[in-house]
Amino acid sequence: EVDMAKIRFIKENLTVEVPDGTTILKAAKSIGAPQGDRCGGVCACSTCHVYVLEGFNNTSEIEDEEFDILDKAFDVRSTSRLGCQAKVHGDIAVEISDESFQAFLDEHPNDKEAAHKLRGK
């Protein structure tokens, strides 16, 4: 039996249950949450930047490579993570950063209206 974790995307009012060890980015993609991933999720940009609002200790440890990329992100906070690197090991709540949301809009121009509706804008 696989342990499951719940991820809540606060601004979009979306919740998804994923197998333990799934990345935040993979979870976002699985339910259509508007999270950017310009580099394809290989820790080469900061467009999947999120804030872990609840359950930060339920994410994998931050490695040096992720710290280096977060240095290039906008509005970095103590709970910032890259969605492509942070694996969940329990329930968490996240906020997709404005930087990541904008990257999603840039990457998916046909989904702009739906993404804004999700965010209540």
Read off the pLDDT of each residue in 27-42 and give the average, rounded to a whole number: 96
Structure tokens at 86: 């942070």
Characterize the bridge pairing of strands 80-82 and 92-96.
unpaired
Q: Which long-range contacts (CB under 8 A, 24 or more apart) does 25-31 make?
A: 25/82, 25/83, 25/84, 27/88, 28/83, 28/96
What average pLDDT is seen over the chain? 96
In this predicted structure, what is the pLDDT of residue 1? 80
pLDDT digits (tens, 9 = 90+) for 52-106: 999 999 999 999 999 999 999 999 999 999 999 999 999 999 999 999 999 999 9
Read off the pLDDT of each residue in 20-34 and give the average, rounded to a whole number: 97
Our measurement of the distance from residue 87's CA atom to the centroid of its chain's CA atoms, rounded to an integer in Å, reads 10
Our measurement of the distance from residue 111's CA atom to the centroid of its chain's CA atoms, rounded to an integer in Å, reads 18
Percent of the chain with pLDDT over 70: 99
Read off the pLDDT of each residue in 13-37 and give the average, rounded to a whole number: 97
Cα–Cα dist 36/38, whole Å: 6
